[in-house]
Every structure is written in C-alpha cells, then in structure tokens.
Structure 1
Amino acid sequence: MSDPHSYGQSPTAGPPVYGSAPVAPSAHGSAVVQPAAYGSAPAAAPPGSVPPVGVDTYGQYPPPPRRSRKGLWITLSVVLTIVIAAVVAGAVFLLPAITGALAEQNATLRTPDALVGFTKSTDPTRQATAEALKKQLAAEVTSETSSVAAFYEDPADPQKIVMVYGLTGKISSPAKELDDAFGGGSADGLVITDLRKVDAGPMSGEAKCGKGSSEGIDLVMCAWADHGSLGVTIFFNRDIDSSAALFKQIRNEVLVRN
C-alpha cells in the first residue's frame, strides 16, 4: 500500500538538499541544465555561436585599447608655438636695445680748447680740483677706459665758469651710475636739491640736473650716463634751466661716438 504523503512525487526523488536551488521540471525528453558552481569558468559557447561583444573566445575580456596621444602632440605643438613666438618677440624687442648699448660703448671724451663759446681755463688750481673730482668718479666705475677733466670760462661773464669731467667704459646700469654720481642727493659734500631728469640730447642715455651751493656760490650739477660713458658738468652762478640747456650742448661736443 502506498504512502499517502508520497502522492505526486517521483518514487526515485530524494529529499531536497538544504540551500540548493530548486530545479524546474524539464520537458519530456529534454536535458536538465544544472546551475554552474560558484567561481567556475563560464561554459563554452556551442559550436557556430558568436561570442558576446567585448569577450574573447576564451571567456576573458581583452585589454583596453591604447589611448591616442594625438591630443598630447597637439598641445605640445601649441605650447612650442607660443614659446617660439615669445622668444622671437623678445629678440625683436631687445635687439635695438642691445645694438644701442654696443654703439654707446664705442665712445670717446674730449676737452677742446673752445666749448660752446667758452674758453678752456689754464688756472692750475682749478685744474687740480677737476682732476680730483675725475679720480673720485673713476673710482666708482671699475671698467673705466679713459677720463677727462677741465674748467671753462664764459667770456661774457668770468663768474659763470663751467667744470667738466667724465670717463668712458662699459656701464651695465646707466641709471644706477647716474644716481651714484649724485651720491643719492649729494655730491662731494654738496647738498643737491631740486634734482630732475633733463633731456640728454641726441646722444641717448639718461641725464639729470640739480641745484646746490658751495661757499655761498650757487651752482647747478648736471650729469649724464649711458652704456659707454659717464659725465658731470658743474655750472657756477647759473639757474637750473639755462644750465640744463647748456649741458645738452656741452655733451654733444665733449662726447664722440666712434
């Protein structure tokens, strides 16, 4: 007699294993597909089938495609173009300055017997004073190649004497040498006031003039500096405006570009 609890069960079926997945009943005559064990390789595809996109025939994912460096090369070419353009622009900007500096270095100073209508003084005391100031100026410029110093007298007014001294040499910073010539506001113990930039004339470079006094005598000190020369002119008993105008003329006659 059959067990009433076994109704509808296959006489050969055993009890279900705990934790196993239920198996759906198969159609008559079909094979039962068992689930793959965890961690096992995927089953091989049936003959003639096409593997999924991105998966090779062995079930492994192919390596990622190599990234194109086209964008990198484009970026580098743009950067190089900008750098080259900047270098060219810098060369175009600096070339005139370099050329001008070299031209200024090829210079000579002279003290002719006649200077802008003035006559050269032969007074030994005056000449000794000019020589002392010339040596002091030369001590501040280590690249000095030549120097001059002289006093000049104005035939129209003997009280309006002019002293000129200067040197030639390679000067890397004309602005600095010009400031040093005035001693930061004083020169040779003289307090210089109303220091101002003035026209250096067609010879290029920088120039300044300032007012001072010595033993109750009013004077004006003017100086120029470029990459090849440094010169000082002191005017006695003149105002700063007329002194600046004379200074430009004197420089044009004292300084010679070779």
Structure 2
Amino acid sequence: MSQPPATPYGPPHDSPTPPQQPGQPQQGVGWTPPQQGFPPAQPGQPYGDPSLPAGPPPAKKSKVGKILLIVLSVVLVLCLGGVAAIWFTIKDDVGEVVDATKTRVTAPATLAGRPKNTDPQLQSAADLMVTEMKSTVQGESSTVGAFYGDPAKQDLIMIAAVSGLLSDPKKELDAFVTGLSTELAVTNMASVEPGPLGGEARCGDGKAEGLALGVCVWADRGSEGMVVMYFKSAEQAKAEFVTIRGQVEQRS
C-alpha cells in the first residue's frame, strides 16, 4: 500500500510531539528564551550579578564621641579642681612674682611636631574648656585649650592651661590631681622633671571611655596646666612633657 505524501506544513495537530533532543531546551507552554545580560540565578543564590558588591562597606566607628566625653570630664576638673581656686598676689619673692606676671599660655601652630586639629567637634570642645576657665578662674591673664594630632592614627594630644598668680602651686596641684583621679581614674601620679620653667609636675595613667590616657600636669607661680595624650601611657606622656610644656607656656 502506498504511503500518503509528506505535508510541507509539519505534522498534523493530533500528531505526537517529536521527542526532545539532548541539549535542546524544553518547548511548550510557558517556555521563554533565556534573557540577555545577567546570568540566571543558581539555587540558593540571590538574583543579580554575584560579582557586584552587596552594598557599601560598613563605616568605621569614630572615636570623636568618646574623646568629647573625656573633654567634659576634664572641664569638671578645671572648674571644680585646682584651677578653680582663687589667685593671690605673691609678696614673699619679688623675683618670682615678676616672672609669674610675665607668664602666658598659648596654642602653638604645631605641638611636638603634630599639627593643630581643626575638627569642628574637637574645636568646639576646646572652646568650651577655654570658656569655662575664663568664667571660673579669678584673675587669669591667659587661657588655652586645643587639640593636636590625628585620632585616626591614635596620636592625639589635648592641652588645657591658665596663667595667673598662684600663692601655693603645690596645693593647687594636689587639688588638681584629686580631681583627675575622680573624673579620669588617673592613678600612679608621680613627680617628674618639670623642665626649665620650674614649679612642680606629675604624670600618671588614666582610662576613660575605654581609652588609655597618659596625663601630665604642672603648676608654678605663674601658671597651671595639663597635657592629655590619648591612646598613650604615662611613660609616653612623660617623655614629651617638657617639650610640650615649653611650647605652651611662654615667658616674655
């Protein structure tokens, strides 16, 4: 029996679908060709290009907030401790009185090789220290509060000082140290070489807001001040104290 001729239009509608060849995509209802661009997601993998980052890297936490809290503690020391005492005219040693009246404290452009820090928050904190000293200390001739260095490099110094006539520098320093022990947990305050400007000086280890502090203070007949080295020890602060004090305290 002869076979019917092959139709040029393909198999009739009721003919079975030819078997799928290996490597060919499934045809039929709901099938769409693959899209160009991003590759299809794999099981367990989010959609999108896996080579692209999921989002911006997390920002590093700034230490400025902790530093500002420490400044507030220092302000309490300056206002309630030795610096808040009354300043008296000294009559027992004319030479010392003359030197004391010529003493001024200042913020140099650089401090022991470190540039002045102009961060707005730190500058505001420094201005607060100066304002509090001026409102509390009687008879001051000059005041200073400033920051130097870079906290991101764990190299930051804060200075706070006032000049005027002190009747009893040792007594003033004792009160100052007591305040530091309370507010900044400064311990092991030991006498150190005050340098050519004389008077008395001490350095100790402090810790506040989880930060290590190297703290040095001084008092003479014409000024009283402190140096706080963040992220440092008392030994490290002691090594630079005389240099730093000599750049902050000036006598004309």
TM-score range, shorter chain: 0.5 to 0.7
Counterpart residue number, 1:250: 244
Counterpart residue number, 1:65: none
Decide whether the 8 Å contact of 1:210 with 1:221 is kept in 2.
yes
Q: Which secondary structure does the structure 1 equivalent of 2:123 belong to?
A: helix
Q: Which secondary structure does the structure 2 equivalent of 1:199 belong to?
A: coil
The gaps in structure 2 that reach 5 residues or longer are: 1-90
Q: Is 1:183 paired with 2:178? A: yes
Tell me: CA distance 1:172–1:248, structure 2 relative to 1, closer, same or farther (3 Å).
Answer: same
Decide whether the 8 Å contact of 2:145 with 2:161 is kept in 1.
yes
Decide whether the 8 Å contact of 2:194 with 2:242 is kept in 1.
yes
Kindly provide the amino acid, as one letter, of the partner of residue 151 in structure 1.
F
| 1:136, distance to aligned residue in structure 2 (A) | 4.3
Q: Which secondary structure does the structure 2 equivalent of 1:100 belong to?
A: helix
| Partners of 2:245 and 2:177 in 1: CA distance | 17
| 1:153, distance to aligned residue in structure 2 (A) | 0.1
Q: Deviations over 1:89-123 (max 9, x none)?
A: xxxxx98x541343133111111111111110001
Q: Is 1:197 paired with 2:191? A: yes
Counterpart residue number, 1:103: 99
Counterpart residue number, 2:161: 166
| Partners of 2:217 and 2:134 in 1: CA distance | 14
| Partners of 1:148 and 1:205 in 2: CA distance | 19
Tell me: CA distance 1:197–1:101, structure 2 relative to 1, closer, same or farther (3 Å).
Answer: farther
Kindly provide the amino acid, as one letter, of the partner of residue 226 in structure 2.
V
Q: Which has the higher contact order (CA 8 A, sep 6+)?
A: 2
| Partners of 1:135 and 1:209 in 2: CA distance | 25
Decide whether the 8 Å contact of 1:119 with 1:153 is kept in 2.
yes
Counterpart residue number, 2:204: 210
If the length of structure 1 is used for normalisation, what is the TM-score?
0.57
Q: Is 1:121 paired with 2:117? A: yes
Structural RMSD (CA): 2.3
Tell me: CA distance 1:250–1:175, structure 2 relative to 1, closer, same or farther (3 Å).
Answer: same
Kindly provide the amino acid, as one letter, of the partner of residue 212 in structure 2.
D
What is the total number of aligned residue pairs between the two structures?
A: 162
Q: Which secondary structure does the structure 2 equivalent of 1:186 belong to?
A: helix
Q: Is 1:221 paired with 2:230? A: no
Q: Which secondary structure does the structure 1 equivalent of 2:202 belong to?
A: strand
Counterpart residue number, 1:152: 148
Tell me: CA distance 1:123–1:154, structure 2 relative to 1, closer, same or farther (3 Å).
Answer: closer
- Structure number with greater Rg is 1
The gaps in structure 1 that reach 5 residues or longer are: 1-93
| Partners of 2:180 and 2:201 in 1: CA distance | 14
Q: Which secondary structure does the structure 1 equivalent of 2:176 belong to?
A: helix
Match of 2:225 among 218, 227, 231: 231
| 1:159, distance to aligned residue in structure 2 (A) | 0.9
Kindly provide the amino acid, as one letter, of the partner of residue 217 in structure 1.
L
Tell me: CA distance 1:135–1:230, structure 2 relative to 1, closer, same or farther (3 Å).
Answer: farther
Decide whether the 8 Å contact of 1:143 with 1:171 is kept in 2.
no
